[in-house]
Chains A and B, each alone.
Chain A
């Protein structure tokens, strides 16, 4: 029995060790770095323990009239992630309903809609920026001019809108895929009895179908949250965080702190706060799933 135990752990341990060394250990180091005063461009100052000074630098509010930049960035991160998820959830649900019909070649349409999900974000960012959002050569500019408008440069004037639109475009297919699986799991006799009982479309969709696939929705939102909150490439190639810091998110701010400002301590503090934000939001969602499962079982 004992040898059996040993041999079973032998299968598990390599994976655990590699994952721990490449993710957990660096994360612990990041937490340690976040308490250090450590600027790579000032080697003369060296590394020194500095307590919570790095966090305090971002969190401290001197006066209410001048809210520090950190809060703006935090807010932008939440707005970008939240708005993208809301749009994905609404659009994804409606499109999943549409794709749930038995029509010839519906699988081709479903497959086409899934495409954007697998496109690398830097490529989709560059393509949208050049062939669509460009005010002279892009579709947006050409169509706006044909309709008699002067196209505004969306990327400089409405950077958050552009980023939210692109995140939604990229992630809605995933929502459609998951929600469609949910819709197709609804038993046919339930759908039939809905028809016999004369339930109208709105009631049928929002009172019966949506509650039935709510867990699919929550899972899609949770995975979407985890992936959208850490997205970096799309912001870099479309707005580069700008104008100014108007489209910074927390991961983007970490990048600029460590590679442009060389401030390891402060960048680590931001990275730790990114993780905390992710965990808090995921935890809230996860709890709502568990609570719901308890209610129904």
Chain B
């Protein structure tokens, strides 16, 4: 008798636990879906016709008509091309400048022992600088140098603002590498450049890739400088999105299809960086 009642109680506890877990799972999925809903709905609406898109609905017969229309629009391609030029160019240059700098700050020999720290802090303070603080001089320079209608001006500004982020993130990944390897490499007579290229970069590969992807996402999404420092031939996708309603009018399906094209690359790249995002951006600061 007693045995059975204990079993009953155990069963009941087990059942309650299971019910709790199922409810919890449902709650998590419901909240996550609701949170993601605006993006999901945008994604769905791109497959509607304009007539279907006018009233909110989730169930409809999908069509590729709107995407075909949006993709045949040559203005969108121009903005897309400009965005790609900025992302590829500015990310590459930021990495070329930022990785050697981070390497030197972690493993290099500088004049004083704390010089490395000072430069590191200096890079971080530049991240705090809001772009409005540089906008006016950059705008006057670019006008005088006729850079507003060429991609180089904006790219230089992006390099200036994103190199510190590369330094910050890559610094935290290099700091994880064991110092002994580099001391041994010093004894073997390898140059610092060889040490960086053959040891440090391959070992911190995943971190560096994530830093690159994250910087690419930041540049892809950047609006303030892209809006104020470009002319029509050089404007990027965020600028296109900001002008959509005044230029193309109130076409919900086309708007949804265009923003899906503008947003999806960043979301996918962003998802790939999520682990490194936490580590690279916060761990240095959490440790203090």
Contact = CB atoms under 8 A, between A and B. Distances in A.
Nearest to A236: B242
A233 B240 CA distance: 12
A39 to B, nearest CB: 13
B35 A112 contact: yes
Contacts of A226: 127-128, 130
Given A131-B42, A219-B286, A233-B242, A15 B36 contact: no
Interface in A271-297: 271-272, 274-275, 278-279, 282, 289-290, 293
A199 interface: no
Interface in B36-67: 36, 38-39, 41-42, 45, 54-56
B271 interface: yes
Contacts of B167: 15
Contacts of B97: 14-15, 18
A109 interface: yes
A233 B256 CA distance: 18
B252 A103 contact: no
A100 to B, nearest CB: 10
Contact of A118 (B164, B255, B269): B269
A5 B108 CA distance: 8
A7 B110 CA distance: 10
B58 to A, nearest CB: 10
A167 interface: no
B182 interface: no
Interface in B173-202: 191-193, 196
A114 B129 contact: no
B151 interface: no
Interface in B139-188: 139-141, 156-157, 159-161, 163-164, 167
A248 interface: no
Nearest to B28: A109
Contacts, number: 288
A178 interface: yes
B224 A122 contact: no
Contacts of A109: 28-29, 31-32
A267 interface: yes
Interface of B: 21, 24-25, 27-29, 31-33, 35-36, 38-39, 41-42, 45, 54-56, 97-98, 100-101, 103-105, 108-111, 119, 122-123, 126-141, 156-157, 159-161, 163-164, 167, 191-193, 196, 217, 220-221, 223-224, 227-228, 237-239, 241-242, 244-245, 250, 252, 255-256, 259, 262-263, 266-267, 269-271, 274, 277-278, 281-282, 285-286, 288
Interface of A: 4-5, 7-9, 11-12, 14-16, 18-19, 21-27, 29-30, 33, 95, 98-99, 101, 103-106, 108-132, 137-139, 142, 169, 173, 177-178, 181-182, 215-216, 219-220, 222-223, 226, 229-230, 232-233, 236-237, 250-251, 254-255, 258-259, 264, 267-268, 270-272, 274-275, 278-279, 282, 289-290, 293
15 contacts: A8-B109, A14-B97, A15-B98, A19-B163, A101-B24, A113-B32, A119-B266, A122-B223, A123-B262, A127-B39, A137-B56, A215-B288, A251-B224, A267-B136, A268-B136
